[in-house]
Structure 1
Amino acid sequence: MTVMEQRGAYRPSPPPAWQPRTDPAPLLPDPEPYRVLGTPAAAQADPELLRRLYVQLVRGRRYNTQATALTKQGRLAVYPSSTGQEACEVAAALALQERDWLFPSYRDTLAVVARGVDPVEALTLLRGDWHTGYDPYAHRVAPLSTPLATQLPHAVGLAHAARLKGDDVVALALVGDGGTSEGDFHEALNFAAVQQAPVVFLVQNNGFAISVPLAKQTAAPSLAHKAVGYGMPGRLVDGNDAAAVHQVLTEAVRHARAGGGPTLVEAVTYRIDAHTNADDATRYRADAEVEAWRGHDPVHLLERELTERGLIDEAGIAAVREDAETMAARLRERMHEDPALDPMDLFAHVYAEPTPQLREQQDLLRAELEAEAEQEAAR
């Protein structure tokens, strides 16, 4: 008997609180990214879905190149291109039902457009003309989030609230690999898992958080493995395989809607263009690396699958590209129109009830504008 036992201080120890409550094995992602295109699973893919994905991929690629050109023409202040990541963007939008919500990051303009938002309205924030540019409630698309990962707790909150109200709604939140290093990411996953909120997290792992490679952000086997620590399933998918991403996200959304709780999906992809038009990507990555990923281009992968299965021919490909060119021409035309801006809009939609300070600033600006108008009329 120990001294402590002799003194009567001994008490039986309870089971350790840190013991896992569930078997972690079912939560673990596959060792390799899941693929459909170029595998036997492709034969089971819905031809109509593949065509739909292809149309959106081609339009998305053209949208990216056109928006990038608009920055060089001074029509956009900045544009974070998603060239190379179009499969993730399109699949995220198409995996949702109309009643569901999409929570994008700043790079997910293409997903916003694929969800149904007007292409010009989707660029309004990046143009510097408006707080958001589109009505989030009309499209069930949250505002583009420039701060890293702050949209994730919002997505969890909305999904949890919808479930409490009895609404059959799932939230899908997009984030980059850099965003997984933010506290908001961890808080969102923890809250979602504990509350079993109907939310899906899609991490687009494009290899770099601006110029910081993934290896300098995490030592985890994959970002999908982070799901296990929070008690949710982790899925690893080839982010350039549109059919695979769509399948994995559709399954995750269905799982969440059925009450199964959240899922973390890591899509392994690559950002072909620089971080933004203000970034020089040649300073931190080699051209050979970029070219290697061009060989795994999401548009070409799906086009090859459709061609080999006889689901599209040269005329069909030409028609899809022509449609994308028409879209780009219309976007270019509309973006070259100077918008009519009202400076008083700065105070709209900031608070539900304007604060005294905001009203004071509003009155000051109104007085300045009226004085300028009087001076202009007197000339």
Structure 2
Amino acid sequence: MDTLQILSEQGVLGSTPTVRLQGEALDLSSYARTEDAEHLRSLYSDMFLVRRFDQESTALQRQGQLALWVPLTGQEGAQIGSGRALERQDYAFPTYREHGVAFTRGVEPAELLRLFRGVTNGGWDPRKSNFHLYTLVLAAQCLHAVGYAMGLQRDQLADPSLPPAASIAYFGDGASSEGDVHESMVFAASFKAPVVFFCQNNQWAISVPATVQTSVPLAQRAEGYGFPGIRVDGNDVIAVEAVTRWALEHARSGKGPVLIEAYTYRMSAHTTADDPTKYRLSRDELEWKARDPLLRLETYLRSAGLADDAFFEGLDTRARAAATELRESVRSMQSADLEDRFAAVYAEPHPLVQEELAFFREYEAGFIDDGQHS
């Protein structure tokens, strides 16, 4: 199967996928594990389980169990493919939608939802998984990723026995217009920092189309900074994995940063507070639905005889059990004590924080009637 693909500037999917690096053909055959049936099934399993997690999380928000949810449906190929390309020593800096990458790094799904339920300021220990806490400030994680990569350079100079490592920064097409992305790429290029910039171009920055963010493929911007830029079919999980493996190896080997533009589509709302029917056409959604990353890999697995009905049925059973466990975990979450939350703002007590805590205690007291909470 020819799985490595670059989209044309018009975004038209070809029948014979290729990947190109700044206009030149890039041979990624040694990075694509297309003949490993077990590996292909595992990629599909990850995408399927993450989508089921996404659906369950959306339902939990609608039921009032989460304050907000950020769906990823349609972007599973970009996230699972890139996440599976990371080595243990690599460090990922996400935005707030990288649930699939988190899954590949071993972060428990329920830990992700602790943040969206409002019971924690974080949710997981990033040191255990090398997957950073979600960043809600657009593009700030790109600066963090470059700084971390520069630190990796210095650590490896001080101790050459350390395994080569890289960082990866995830951001969207909308965030690409932020100054932080520009500054990050300037520093990364200047210092040849071992960092991969991974842009998930899902066509929409909330209600603003990608065509307003840029008049050329975003991957072309890398040329202005002096490092490689690659546009890959973000709905082809195998292509994404191969491209990301190549980019990470390029960065780890001291050759500097790489920009990957994963051309994909957000099939659902920006968040559960968004209504995409207000700004995009249903025919566009239907067109991209046919390019669903799960559907594409399932079609290949079945046609090549690499997976049968028993595999897909077993996966569905596993996903249902995981969804049940997730619901129970979320409903049993307890909010942190208010004083503990305020104590985590600064390392040492701060008078303004103490003043705000007193205000909230007084506010809470206003809901108490005869010793009972109303």
| Shorter-normalised TM range | 0.7 to 0.9
Aligned to 1:13: none
Task: Please say if 1:211 is aligned against 2:211.
Answer: no
- Aligned equivalents of 1:28, 1:248: Cα separation in 2: 10
Q: Which moved more, 1:141-150 or 1:351-360?
A: 351-360
- Aligned equivalents of 1:360, 1:281: Cα separation in 2: 41
CA displacement, residues 65-124 of structure 1 (integer Å, 9 cap, x when unaligned): 111111100011111101000111112221111121111111112321331111111112
CA displacement, residues 317-336 of structure 1 (integer Å, 9 cap, x when unaligned): 11112111111111112112
2:141 paired residue among 133, 148, 151: 151
Q: Which moved more, 1:185-194 or 1:352-361?
A: 352-361
1:235 paired residue among 230, 237, 249: 230
User: Cα gap change, 1:30/1:61 in structure 2, threshold over 3 Å: closer, same or farther?
Assistant: farther
Task: Please say if 1:105 is aligned against 2:95.
Answer: yes
Task: Please say if 1:169 is aligned against 2:165.
Answer: yes
Q: 2:174 is paired with a residue of what secondary structure?
A: helix
Matched residue pairs, number? 346
CA displacement, residues 47-73 of structure 1 (integer Å, 9 cap, x when unaligned): 232111111010011111111111100
1:132 paired residue among 105, 115, 122: 122
Q: Is the 8 A contact 2:150 2:194 kept in 1?
A: yes
Task: Please say if 1:93 is aligned against 2:83.
Answer: yes
After TM superposition, give the deviation of residue 281 of structure 1 in Å.
0.6
Q: Which moved more, 1:361-370 or 1:46-55?
A: 361-370
- Aligned equivalents of 2:364, 2:268: Cα separation in 1: 42
Task: Please say if 1:29 is aligned against 2:22.
Answer: yes
- Aligned equivalents of 2:363, 2:271: Cα separation in 1: 36
Aligned to 1:21: none
CA displacement, residues 195-230 of structure 1 (integer Å, 9 cap, x when unaligned): 11111111000101001011111122x000011111
Q: Is the 8 A contact 1:28 1:234 kept in 2?
A: yes
Q: 1:259 is paired with a residue of what secondary structure?
A: helix
The one-letter amino acid paired with 1:111 is V
Q: 2:171 is paired with a residue of what secondary structure?
A: strand
- Aligned equivalents of 1:333, 1:297: Cα separation in 2: 30
- Aligned equivalents of 1:45, 1:335: Cα separation in 2: 39
Q: Is the 8 A contact 1:28 1:228 kept in 2?
A: no
Q: 1:201 is paired with a residue of what secondary structure?
A: strand
Structure 2 residues without counterparts, runs of 5 or longer: 1-19, 157-161
- Aligned equivalents of 1:178, 1:43: Cα separation in 2: 32
User: Cα gap change, 1:283/1:34 in structure 2, threshold over 3 Å: closer, same or farther?
Assistant: farther
After TM superposition, give the deviation of residue 28 of structure 1 in Å.
4.9
Q: Which moved more, 1:44-53 or 1:83-92?
A: 44-53
- Aligned equivalents of 1:174, 1:90: Cα separation in 2: 13
Q: Is the 8 A contact 1:109 1:123 kept in 2?
A: no
Aligned to 1:18: none
- Aligned equivalents of 1:52, 1:30: Cα separation in 2: 32
User: Cα gap change, 1:371/1:256 in structure 2, threshold over 3 Å: closer, same or farther?
Assistant: same
1:191 paired residue among 175, 181, 187: 187
Aligned to 1:181: 177
Root mean square deviation, CA, Å: 2.7
User: Cα gap change, 1:35/1:304 in structure 2, threshold over 3 Å: closer, same or farther?
Assistant: farther
Task: Please say if 1:46 is aligned against 2:41.
Answer: no
Aligned to 1:22: none
Aligned to 1:342: 337
Structure 1 residues without counterparts, runs of 5 or longer: 1-26
TM-score by length of 1: 0.84
CA displacement, residues 341-379 of structure 1 (integer Å, 9 cap, x when unaligned): 311222244334444433554577679989999x849xx
The one-letter amino acid paired with 1:129 is V
Aligned to 2:51: 61
Q: Is the 8 A contact 2:153 2:193 kept in 1?
A: yes
User: Cα gap change, 1:44/1:275 in structure 2, threshold over 3 Å: closer, same or farther?
Assistant: closer
CA displacement, residues 270-315 of structure 1 (integer Å, 9 cap, x when unaligned): 0000111111111111111101111000001111111222211111
User: Cα gap change, 1:83/1:231 in structure 2, threshold over 3 Å: closer, same or farther?
Assistant: same
What fraction of aligned residue pairs are identical, expressed as a percent?
41
- Aligned equivalents of 1:30, 1:47: Cα separation in 2: 31
- Aligned equivalents of 2:36, 2:62: Cα separation in 1: 40
- Aligned equivalents of 2:347, 2:136: Cα separation in 1: 22
Task: Please say if 1:114 is aligned against 2:100.
Answer: no
Aligned to 1:295: 290
The one-letter amino acid paired with 1:90 is I
Aligned to 1:261: 256
Aligned to 1:160: 150
User: Cα gap change, 1:224/1:142 in structure 2, threshold over 3 Å: closer, same or farther?
Assistant: same
Q: Specify the structure having the higher radius of gyration (Cα).
A: 1
Q: Which moved more, 1:293-302 or 1:120-129?
A: 120-129
CA displacement, residues 221-245 of structure 1 (integer Å, 9 cap, x when unaligned): x000011111110011000000000
Aligned to 2:10: none
Q: 1:75 is paired with a residue of what secondary structure?
A: coil
